[in-house]
Amino acid sequence: MTTVVFPGQGSQIIGMAKDFNDNFQIARSIFENIEDSCSLNIREIIFEDPNKLLDQTNFTQISVFAASVSIYKTLESLYDEAKLNINYMLGHSLGEYSALTCSNIINVSDSSKLLKIRGNLMNTAIEPNKSGMAALIGLDCARIEKIINQKNLSIEIANDNSPIQIVVSGLMEDINVSRDIFLSNGVKKFIKLNVSAAFHSKLMKEAQEKLNNNIDSIKFTNSNISIISNFNANINNNILDIVKSLKNQMANRVRWSESIKKLESTNENKIIEIGPGKVLSGLIKRISNSFDIISINSIEDLKAFE
């Protein structure tokens, strides 16, 4: 059995998946589909980025998605279903859309349209510089939550990434106030993230509701691949449950550690990370030592897979 995982925002790099676009028609067709669906020159942004758009949320999300899906569809075209033997898919934040697309629950065109809207909504949800996020290194989710409650901090856990890496979201003034409190209570590093707003928090509630109007218009299709959802870390193969979780994702915590522990409980032991970078592989190794993990983000990686 195999599980496929897809990265989220922060993994983007200029040139990601260019070798797939240059060498495989299936990858080119994915890029073309996304460009036509979104009326964006995605490949110019990803491969050249002349206008410095790749790190802007409203372009980052659709770009990482395009790179991830083009790589996965290439892999899928090279190996039959029995060889891949995929039972589960999951993704980190926007990566969940990659998982839903590569499992054929949402088609490429619909998913790319949703992500374009999602990126725009998240980028403009709150007045610039009013809110943000910070990564806390050294303590697990339970201990961070205890500090937040005991010190009555007005921030939220946005990403439970690993037992030693938690991301918090909130208004910038509250993020700033929390810094010294965390550092004096066991956090080893406090790193402000270069993001446009407090993602995966209640501050995204209005943006989430707007996105849900668009999610309601999308056709979801049953798949034999199960999805482990960010919102509740449950294994879902029922479309109603998948949609419900997706509708709650943007304004709630990404339960990545719980998701990997849930996967571990299935006795799954092989993971393929698809997309730019190897961020998720690093996080997963800190959560569990039960998995053999391979990352595929270049043609050279395909050879290693074989």
CATH assignment at residue 112: 3.40.366.10
- Is the same domain home to 59 and 168? no
- Predicted TM-score (pTM) of this structure: 0.96
**What local confidence, expressed as pLDDT, does residue 118 receive?**
96
pLDDT score for 195: 87
Say yes or no: 188 and 208 in one domain. Answer: no
Instruction: Determine, yes or no, domain membership for 250.
Output: yes
pLDDT beyond 90 at 25: yes
d(CA 216, CA 214): 5
CATH for 188: 3.30.70.250
49 shares its domain with 180: no
Q: Judge if 173 and 270 occupy the same domain.
A: no
Last residue of a domain, one of 192, 213, 236: 192
Question: What is the span of the domain harbouring residue 146?
Answer: 131-192
Residues 142 and 222 grouped into a single domain = no
What pLDDT digit, counting tens, does each position of 42-63 carry? 999 999 999 999 999 999 999 9
229 inside domain: yes
pLDDT, position 18:
98
Do 144 and 234 have their domain in common? no
What integer pLDDT is reported at residue 163 of this predicted model?
97
Together in a domain, 209 and 235: yes
User: Would you state the pLDDT for residue 129?
Assistant: 84
Across all residues in the chain, what is the average pLDDT?
96
Q: How many CB atoms lie within 10 A of CB 171?
A: 17
> Same structural domain for residues 107 and 221?
yes
Q: For the chain, what is the domain count?
A: 2
Measured in degrees and rounded to the nearest 5, phi and psi for residue 143 equal -75, -35
Q: What is the pLDDT of residue 303?
A: 82
Domain boundary among 146, 174, 192: 192
Q: How much is the average pLDDT of 27-43? A: 97
Do both 171 and 212 map to the same domain?
no
For residue 11, being part of any structural domain is answered with: yes
Q: Does any domain span residue 76?
A: yes
pLDDT of residue 80: 80
> Whole-angstrom Cα distance, residue 105 to residue 97?
10
The residues carrying an active-site annotation are: 93, 200
Say whether both 110 and 219 belong to one domain.
Answer: yes
Residue corresponding to tokens 């067709």: 29
Q: Which residues contact 107 (CB under 8 A, 6 or more apart)?
A: 101, 219, 221
> 110 and 164: one domain?
no
SS3 152: coil
Q: Residue 87, SS3? A: strand
Q: How confident is the model at residue 184 (pLDDT cuts 50, 70, 90)?
A: very high
What separation in angstroms does the CA of 32 have from each of 67, 80, 239, 297?
Answer: 12, 24, 28, 19
Does residue 197 lie within any of the structural domains? no
Q: What is the rounded CA–CA span in Å between residue 222 and residue 7?
A: 23
- Binning pLDDT at 50, 70 and 90, where does residue 304 land? confident
In the prediction, which pLDDT does 196 show?
Answer: 85
> Rounded to whole angstroms, what are the CA distances from 174 to 99, 131, 170, 199?
34, 9, 6, 15
Q: Which helix (H) or strand (E) holds 90?
A: strand 86-91
Under a CB-based contact definition with an 8 Å cutoff, are residues 155 and 190 in contact? no
